[in-house]
Amino acid sequence: SDPGLVARARAAKERLGDRVFVLGHHYQRDEVIEFADVTGDSFKLARDAAARPEAEYIVFCGVHFMAESADILTTPAQQVVLPDLAAGCSMADMATAEQVAECWDVLTDAGVADVTVPVSYMNSSADIKAFTGRHGGTICTSSNAERALRWAFRESEKVLFLPDQHLGRNTAVRELGMTLEDCVVYNPHKPNGGLTVEQLRDARMILWRGHCSVHGRFSLDSVREVRERIPGVNVLVHPECKHEVVSAADQVGSTEYIIKALEAAPPGSKWAVGTELNLVRRLADRFAAESEGGKEIVFLDRTVCFCSTMNRIDLPHLVWALESLLQGTVVNRIQVEAETEKFAKLALERMLALP
């Protein structure tokens, strides 16, 4: 990266000192991760943002829903900045407040809303989190989805899982021992979600028809191909991958889990990792070193690319955000509206309190 920009980022951070706290999701570019005070998966970053009440500014290097969650969990005096407002998440965009309200009407008409609790993946807008809080549900991330679902099924008979059908299905089937038949998919673009009243009554998991455009591209063929190409390879994937991919993998987990699994792996072992490319490249470089065990790490499918919205946060945007703060201007502030925040916070706090 541009040495001039690196020096400017370093100088701005130094001058801001403890007034600023920079969070970096594991999918961020190397040039950005270098300036993160803490890195993590979505769960860890939400907790870390909440644990820094002394920082005036939280600069969130990640995507929009993460910055919203940080705003909800920090104090009203703290200001959250997303260095590029175009850093959204295509999965989060797949569930709008209007669509979800309509879905709840469909469940109500079918007579199942009373026995359904919503569980929403962190990768959703603050509006969806507020809907979840209003209806007694919880947020989950890929690192606590099992605990969230176990909690939900103690509360209620059915779960409406938003918006990632894959995380919902993978967790229900792999961790809770449900069958694929226990799950139905609600399609917001079809009347009544494309489901009959009987289907809604019989289902235990009502999965929203959303997915991650990056993880959705890993296929069963990519798993077969890498196993043929690299004998003895271990396949490690994120639970946003399709059920057939997750079923064919050796290990499944959040980005933080993936890092820990590779840290614990025996020296010389071989791994094909199915998650975002910035992270996989960084891990491949890190673990190739003899001092880190000389582990061979490859990207599960060479045709899959970066998460384009995560990549929007680059060094020029980070420098601009930090230097603006130095000059007393808060650019790209993410601020969730009060009523939405109140209910979204309820749902997020339920997640933080999961047993």
Residues that bind ligand 13P (CB under 6 A): 26, 41-43, 89, 123, 141-143, 212, 238, 240, 254-255
From the CB of 232, what's the least distance to ligand SF4, in Å?
28
For residue 276, state whether it binds ligand SF4 (rule: CB under 6 A): yes
For residue 69, state whether it binds ligand SF4 (rule: CB under 6 A): no
**Residue 288 or 305 with smaller CB distance to ligand SF4:** 305
Determine how many CB atoms are found less than 10 A away from the CB of residue 299: 22
For residue 123, state whether it binds ligand SF4 (rule: CB under 6 A): yes
Residue 223 to residue 233: CA distance in whole angstroms? 10
- Report the residue from 9, 89, 95, 117 that binds ligand SF4 according to the rule CB under 6 A: 89
- Tokens 């060479």 found at: 302
Annotated binding site: 25, 42, 89, 121-123, 142, 212, 238-240, 255, 307
Sites for ligand SF4 among residues 146-165 (CB under 6 A): none
294: left (phi > 0), else alpha (psi -120 to 50), else beta?
left
Q: 209, 165 in Cβ contact below 8 A?
A: yes
**Residue 96 or 156 with smaller CB distance to ligand SF4:** 96
The two tokens of residue 183 are 């799950």
From the CB of 290, what's the least distance to ligand SF4, in Å?
31
For ligand SF4, which stretch binds (CB under 6 A), given 46-54, 110-118, 174-182, 212-220? 212-220
**Residue 256 or 341 with smaller CB distance to ligand 13P:** 256
Three-point CA angle 298, 300, 303, nearest 5°: 110
Three-point CA angle 150, 251, 239, nearest 5°: 55
Distances (CA, A) of 203 to 145, 157, 228, 280: 19, 9, 38, 37
The two tokens of residue 216 are 């959705």
**Residue 192 or 255 with smaller CB distance to ligand 13P:** 255
**Residue 88 or 194 with smaller CB distance to ligand 13P:** 88
The gap between the terminal CA atoms of the chain, to the nearest Å, is 43
Q: Return all residues near 110 (Cβ < 8 A) that are at least 6 apart.
A: 197, 200, 201
How many residues of this chain interact with ligand SF4, rule: CB under 6 A?
14
Pairing state of beta strands 234-237 and 79-81? unpaired
The two tokens of residue 92 are 């989060």
Q: What is the dihedral of CA 35, 39, 41, 42, to 10 degrees?
A: -60
Cα 352 versus chain centre, distance: 15
Which residue in 264, 164, 257 sits closest to 205, CA to CA? 164
Decide which of ligand 13P, ligand SF4, none touches 90; Cβ closer than 5 to 8 Å per partner kind. Answer: ligand SF4
For residue 70, state whether it binds ligand SF4 (rule: CB under 6 A): no
Which residue in 237, 215, 223, 163 sits closest to 193, CA to CA? 163
Annotated binding site for iminosuccinate: 25, 42, 121-123, 142, 238-240, 255
Encoded one letter per residue, x for contact with ligand SF4 by CB under 6 A and - for no contact, window 297-326 reads: ----------x-xx----------------
For residue 46, state whether it binds ligand SF4 (rule: CB under 6 A): no
**Residue 9 or 140 with smaller CB distance to ligand 13P:** 140
**Residue 185 or 310 with smaller CB distance to ligand 13P:** 310
Q: Give the interface with ligand SF4 as residue ranges (CB under 6 A).
A: 63, 89-91, 123, 212-215, 240, 276, 307, 309-310
